[in-house]
Amino acid sequence: MDFESVYRIKNEILYLNTYICPTYNGRECILIEPGSDHGTIDNKIMELSLKPIGIFCTHGHFDHIASVKKYQKKYNYKFYLHELDLKIAQSSNFLLRIFKIKLFVDIPIPDIFIKKIELLQLEKIKLMFFIPQDIHREAAR
């Protein structure tokens, strides 16, 4: 494993890809889009002997944030989300009931809200985020 590798996990429950991005030191990682398949994600993190230090979601839909709270509790890392997606995230369980999906999401509270363009630094990694406003966020207003 090297820090240039990115590992993709196909969530089987809500069919979303989760990405594990190791940091330069090879012991930590950043999670992107931790979907609903917590066990599979956790197994891959353990297999790679990594510790998450941050998590990022492109938006607040339930399929993107489903495992965030579990990882916040387990690893005590920061959760990053676009500021306009909080309302969408908070409506996750309502939407799951509407769609008749038997899943409950423990709603995470972001530690850091991302604006339209952000340069964030975690350890030695600099991340540039450009999250354009889209129809999902417009609906949350």
- Here the CATH number for the domain that contains residue 65 is 3.60.15.10
Element (H, E) at 55: strand 51-56
The answer to whether position 1 is within a domain reads: no
Give the global pTM.
0.80
The answer to whether position 117 is within a domain reads: yes
pLDDT single digits (tens) 73-100: 888 888 988 888 899 999 999 998 998 9
Element (H, E) at 54: strand 51-56
Across-strand partners of 78?
54
Residue 122: per-residue pLDDT? 63
The structural domain count of the chain equals 1
Question: Which distant-in-sequence residues (6+ apart) come within 8 Å of 76 by Cβ?
Answer: none
The answer to whether position 58 is within a domain reads: yes
The answer to whether position 63 is within a domain reads: yes
Question: Which distant-in-sequence residues (6+ apart) come within 8 Å of 32 by Cβ?
Answer: 18, 19, 20, 21, 55, 56, 57, 58
Has residue 140 got a pLDDT over 50?
no
Has residue 6 got a pLDDT over 80?
yes
Amino acid of residue 105? V
Give the span between the Cα atoms of 5 and 19, in whole angstroms. Answer: 10
What is the domain range of residue 57? 7-140
Contact predicate 31/20, CB 8 Å: yes
The answer to whether position 2 is within a domain reads: no
The answer to whether position 51 is within a domain reads: yes
Has residue 121 got a pLDDT over 50?
yes
pLDDT single digits (tens) 99-117: 898 889 999 999 988 876 6
The answer to whether position 114 is within a domain reads: yes
